Amino acid sequence: MEGWQRAFVLHSRPYSETSLLLDLFSESHGRVRVLAKGARARRSQLKGTLQPFTPLLVRWTGRGEVKTLTKAEAVSLALPLSGITLYCGLYVNELLSRVLEQEFPFSELFFDYLNCLQTLASGESSPEPALRRFELALLGHLGYGVDFLHCAGSGEPVADAMTYSYREEKGFIASLVANQRSFTGRQLRALWERDFPDADTLRAAKRFTRIALKPYLGGKPLKSTELFRQFVPKKRPDAASP
């Protein structure tokens, strides 16, 4: 690889006695797996640098599935995530690690990711709107196209008070049945605008993204969600999970 790449660490694990195996999310190459040789050694200059949520400039070499990290510098301090926002950040990282193919460029998604982390770090009262906006952006970049503004059956614009049932590969169809796949026209408009002014639209957004992301995640649960559930009862019983 020529030149420096902006990147974040999505996941890391020890490799041999002194090295790390990293999943990076880079601006121009998407998700890349690299071996950071000697990164865990006592005198390594990389020690403490290759951490999640730290903006990095990196370089690597190699043509195989696992590259070799040659340079890494922290652009700034790690984004200040703690408590619930830390678990939300871990959730976003795990989501990318699970659904992105290796070395497929997602330059615009990189900035959606950065914006999500910055919003989480800003200390907004609730992290949920940032998570829902990021999930919807991710689905869009993965090619998951759905028309939130028109009834798939009639082609008519959705009406705020009408109920619509979601069907995969078709869209939203007017229905009198209310269940987990039912959304009002007002909720669909909020999804389209990625603006969630109240608890009702936030809950609807979470229901939809769970449905839409399930085929990409398969049946394996997210570790970050399980960790969050262990954390919440001790801190904020009323907090919503990622």
pTM: 0.89
What does the block give as tokens for 222? 């997210």
Euclidean distance between CA atoms 77 and 74, whole angstroms: 7
Can you give the pLDDT at residue 131?
A: 96
**pLDDT over 70 percentage in the chain:** 93
Euclidean distance between CA atoms 108 and 79, whole angstroms: 20
Query: For the segment 10-66, what is each residue's pLDDT rounded down to a tens digit?
Result: 999 999 899 999 999 999 999 999 999 999 998 888 888 999 999 999 999 998 899
CA atoms 204, 205, 208, 211: torsion sign: negative
What does the block give as tokens for 213? 């992301």
Name 56's bridge partners.
7, 74
